[in-house]
Structure 1
Amino acid sequence: MITCSAPGKLFVVGEYAVVEPGRLAILVAVDRRVSVTVSPGELAGRVAVRSDLYSGTVEFVRVDARLVPCVDDSGPAPRLNHVVSAIETVERLIVERGLPVRPLTLDITSELHEDGTKFGLGSSGAVTVATISAVGAFYGLDLTPEQRYRLAMLATARIAARASGGDLAASVWGGWIAYSAPDRTDILGMAERLGIDRAIHAEWPGFSIKRLQPPADLTFEVGWTGVPAATDTLVAGLAERNRNNDSFYRSFLWRSDECVRTCIAALRDGENREFLRQIRRFRDLLQTADGITRIGIFTPRMTTLCDTVEKVGGAAKPSGAGGGDCGIAFLDNTAHHQLETLRARWRAAGIRPLSIRVPAVEKEARDDDRQPQG
């Protein structure tokens, strides 16, 4: 029996732009996790999955390297697509290495949901990374952090071609990171031509990961608007509506990169005032994009969440695609009265303050990482 877990994530700056290869974003890994336990299965050729998000067990049979539901031939339930793709990707690697696949039972528990409702903390990415880690360890694979990320990215790209993989990187490396994505079409083609094993060792243009120093003397707060967001729909909507407004989209990408790079420099230099200025700047950039595309990044509650933070001297913005889910705020960590005022005003507006922190990365984990430079 093997158990592995992976944390959820929040975007700090760079969302939407990061779906384009090589475009930067800053993310953090949070202190809520998804855990996956893998144990030997009972029937040859079968994989059983149990999750705290539903009752009962979903069983799959292996057919031509794919996992097919034993009873329902319409395909796996949506919340299992990422799990299934992760298992299939690891087992393709196992077969390439000449090892036999085995019957498996997976048990999944999540701290990223409550009563079946998601908070927008990257549950799909976290469950993908935890599944890759646990199934890989069960088969005796000694995967580096980068190999776990690459397997998770291949598994995700198979079912969500626009997914940036930023959530995967945050779940693998933890802490504060700067990330840019590879071209998902290229890496999928590479995996088909060369195989999984060669693909995860090949050069991935556009991909970079770098640890960042967290801001000192700032409090990080998270508020949930009470409405789950359709991230894939929002991301696809921005790209689709900008095909006929290419000049705006190019400007959006350039301004996003400039903002992210300035944030990285501010974190490096300990310039909190500049960091807060860039958080406000990226909020403005998202509001401009929302005004042009009308895709609904800013709901009334999200606008209230951000405005309330500004009134007590902090900076705030949506985290991720917006349209609901979470907003993030940064305030001076000595501003205790302002923080209590903020939380009270959020609650009065129907916004739930979440007790979420960004755990420090252990030195051993930092030493184990090989970080590509980007």
Structure 2
Amino acid sequence: MIRVTAPGKMILLGEYAVLEDAPALVCAVDVRASVQIGRLAGNEFVFSAPSLNLHELPFVILPNAHVRFDPALGQEALRKLTLFAGIMEYVYSRLPDPLKNQGLRIAINTDAFYAEQFHSKMGFGSSAAFCAALVKGLVVISKLDMTEAQIFRLALSAHHHAQGKMGSGIDVAASYFGGYLHYERIYENDPVNKLPQPVSPCAGLYFRPVFTGKSASTTKLVGGVKQLKEKRPEVYDPIMERLKALSVQGLQAFEQRQVELFLEKVREFYITLKNLGDQSGMPIISGVHQKLADLAHRAGVVYKPSGAGSGDIGLIFSDDRQRFSEAITIIKNSGYFPLDVDVATEGVRLEKSF
């Protein structure tokens, strides 16, 4: 039996632009998903996810790699199982035949990604963390001879297919490698050695995530922006070019430790994100994000959503420790939820083999 864990993520700069091949800045956070995998006799498979109220559910993997749970579980349970089934199907369609008949008991735990008092996810990328840990675990327990780059690319493709081929993969990269990363979108036909690049921390920059109190649908927001691209390219294109330029400039400032310039690019990125949301009709900068941005501005710090926007988390940034501390207090006293999490320097890891 093995146990594998992987951290969540925070996108510091580059949302939406990364979907159009611009570089983005992301870091892993010390909120970890865990996957425990053990062998079973024959070709029995059992899945549990207590975080989703799914316990000891048997399933089969058909010769075509299709994962089948009992339809009697009902629509709600089967919906919760969609991501797991999609990842398994992608991985198993690429396994050597002898490995497909080895039964497994798989249990996942993503409790750390949920805000219990709100009964919702916080937005740290639980699905990507779970996927990175699951794929790493499947490779380890199957004793496949694969490099870390190959395992990452397998996890990246599995998550992309299981999520309906949406997203850039930036969250899987953060979960797999940890630390700070310079990420550019990776496509399936790219060379296997195309990987995200590690970035050193930016001395003198302080930042903290703030939970808005509600989760958001990334799929809906990204889909709405995609409609703007398809129906009104004359509006979409200049906004996206601006986001891409700011992402390039901001990442360069971070890498060169130019904190003041980085903060300026974050401010401009926020304004351009708001324009993208207004033009697409998507609440990227929702009322709660605008309120947090106003509070941050009054406290002398910088704010932006982390991820697709609307809900989930935002980030406050500052180059002044005292102002940063005062801003956290102001935001907390205003009824919002600064989160005390650290950057996870380590990505996916095999924690136990027993």
Asked if TM exceeds 0.5, the reply is yes
Higher relative contact order (CA 8 A, sep 6+): 2
Q: Give the Cα–Cα distance (whole angstroms) in 2 for the partners of residues 204 and 284 of structure 1.
A: 36
Q: Note closer, same or farther for the CA distance 1:59–1:19 as it changes in structure 2 (3 Å cut).
A: farther
Deviations 1:237-287 (A, max 9, x none): 011123222123222332222112212221222110001111111101101
Q: Does structure 2 conserve the Cα–Cα contact (< 8 Å) formed by 1:279 and 1:317?
A: yes
Partner of 1:180: 184
Q: Give the Cα–Cα distance (whole angstroms) in 2 for the partners of residues 80 and 150 of structure 1.
A: 22
2:348 is aligned with 1:360: no
State the AA in 1 paired with 2:329: A
Partner of 1:56: 55
Identity of matched residues, % = 27
Q: Does structure 1 conserve the Cα–Cα contact (< 8 Å) formed by 2:181 and 2:198?
A: yes
Which of 300-309 and 38-47 deviates more? 38-47
Q: How does 1:288-299 map to 2 (within 5 A)?
A: 288-299=275-286
Three-state SS of the structure 1 residue aligned to 2:143 is coil
Q: What stretches of structure 1 move > 4 A for 4+ residues in a row?
A: 73-76
Partner of 1:265: 252
Q: Note closer, same or farther for the CA distance 1:291–1:118 as it changes in structure 2 (3 Å cut).
A: same
Q: Give the Cα–Cα distance (whole angstroms) in 2 for the partners of residues 298 and 40 of structure 1.
A: 47
* Alpha-carbon shift at residue 333 of structure 1 (Å): 4.9
Question: Which residue among 181, 186, 197 is the counterpart of 1:210?
Answer: 197
Q: Does structure 2 conserve the Cα–Cα contact (< 8 Å) formed by 1:212 and 1:264?
A: no
Partner of 1:194: none
2:328 is aligned with 1:343: yes
2:318 is aligned with 1:331: yes
Partner of 2:149: 146
Q: Give the Cα–Cα distance (whole angstroms) in 2 for the partners of residues 104 and 42 of structure 1.
A: 8
Q: Does structure 2 conserve the Cα–Cα contact (< 8 Å) formed by 1:301 and 1:349?
A: no
Q: How does 1:1-374 map to 2 (within 5 A)?
A: 1-20=1-20, 22-42=21-41, 44-64=43-63, 65-72=65-72, 77-95=78-96, 99-110=99-110, 111-115=112-116, 116-159=119-162, 160-183=164-187, 187=188, 203=191, 208-335=195-322, 338-361=323-346
* Alpha-carbon shift at residue 138 of structure 1 (Å): 0.7
Q: Give the Cα–Cα distance (whole angstroms) in 2 for the partners of residues 143 and 113 of structure 1.
A: 33
Three-state SS of the structure 2 residue aligned to 1:84 is helix
**What TM-score do the two structures reach when normalised by structure 1?**
0.84
State the AA in 2 paired with 1:203: P
Q: Does structure 1 conserve the Cα–Cα contact (< 8 Å) formed by 2:7 and 2:344?
A: no
State the AA in 1 paired with 2:245: E
State the AA in 1 paired with 2:226: A
Q: Give the Cα–Cα distance (whole angstroms) in 1 for the partners of residues 148 and 250 of structure 2.
A: 25
State the AA in 2 paired with 1:347: K
Three-state SS of the structure 2 residue aligned to 1:72 is helix
Q: Does structure 2 conserve the Cα–Cα contact (< 8 Å) formed by 1:112 and 1:123?
A: yes
Q: Does structure 1 conserve the Cα–Cα contact (< 8 Å) formed by 2:129 and 2:175?
A: yes
Q: Give the Cα–Cα distance (whole angstroms) in 1 for the partners of residues 88 and 78 of structure 2.
A: 15
Partner of 2:352: none
Q: Give the Cα–Cα distance (whole angstroms) in 2 for the partners of residues 253 and 156 of structure 1.
A: 25
Q: Give the Cα–Cα distance (whole angstroms) in 1 for the partners of residues 308 and 99 of structure 2.
A: 41
Q: Note closer, same or farther for the CA distance 1:176–1:79 as it changes in structure 2 (3 Å cut).
A: farther
Which of 271-280 and 142-151 deviates more? 142-151
Q: State how many pairs are aligned.
A: 342
Q: Give the Cα–Cα distance (whole angstroms) in 1 for the partners of residues 30 and 176 of structure 2.
A: 13
State the AA in 2 paired with 1:82: L
Which of 290-299 and 141-150 deviates more? 141-150
Deviations 1:94-145 (A, max 9, x none): 226x544311111111211133520011011111111001111111124333
Q: Note closer, same or farther for the CA distance 1:164–1:72 as it changes in structure 2 (3 Å cut).
A: farther
Q: Does structure 2 conserve the Cα–Cα contact (< 8 Å) formed by 1:16 and 1:321?
A: yes
Q: Where do 5+ consecutive residues of structure 2 fail to align?
A: 350-354
